């Protein structure tokens, strides 16, 4: 869902404009993505780095 077409019940303006505190809070709540405040791309990057580190450690222990 997008806030582009939503109208705030408090100020009667589009939520996407964020004119009142309620608009800004709802816009932020709708646009927050990811885990623990981290964007999904960063989470994916961290998982890839963890995978490579695990593979490197496994390779080194096999020598």
**How many domains, in total, are found in the chain?**
2
Please write down the long-range contacts of 39-44, taking CB distance under 8 Å and 24 or more positions apart.
none
Residues 43, 17, single domain; the answer is no
Q: Domain of 19?
A: 1-32
pTM above 0.85, yes or no: no
In the prediction, which pLDDT does 8 show?
Answer: 86
In the prediction, which pLDDT does 55 show?
Answer: 95
Burial tier of 44 (Cβ tally within 10 Å: 0-12, 13-18, 19+): exposed
Q: Is the pLDDT of residue 1 over 60?
A: no
Residues 58, 40, single domain; the answer is yes
Residues 59, 44, single domain; the answer is yes
In the prediction, which pLDDT does 26 show?
Answer: 82
Q: Which helix (H) or strand (E) holds 42?
A: helix 40-61
Residues 24, 42, single domain; the answer is no
Residues 21, 40, single domain; the answer is no
Rounded Cα distance between 15 and 27, Å, is 6
Rounded Cα distance between 4 and 6, Å, is 6
In the prediction, which pLDDT does 47 show?
Answer: 95
Give the model confidence (pLDDT) of 29-63 as tens digits. 877 666 777 777 888 999 999 999 999 999 998 76
Residues 27, 44, single domain; the answer is no
């Amino acid at each position: 869902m997008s806030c582009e077409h939503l109208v705030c019940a408090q100020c009667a303006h589009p939520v996407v404009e964020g004119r009142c505190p309620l608009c800004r809070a709802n816009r932020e709540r709708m646009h927050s993505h990811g885990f623990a405040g981290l964007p999904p791309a960063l989470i994916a990057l961290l998982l890839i780095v963890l995978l490579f580190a695990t593979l490197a450690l496994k390779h080194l222990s096999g020598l």
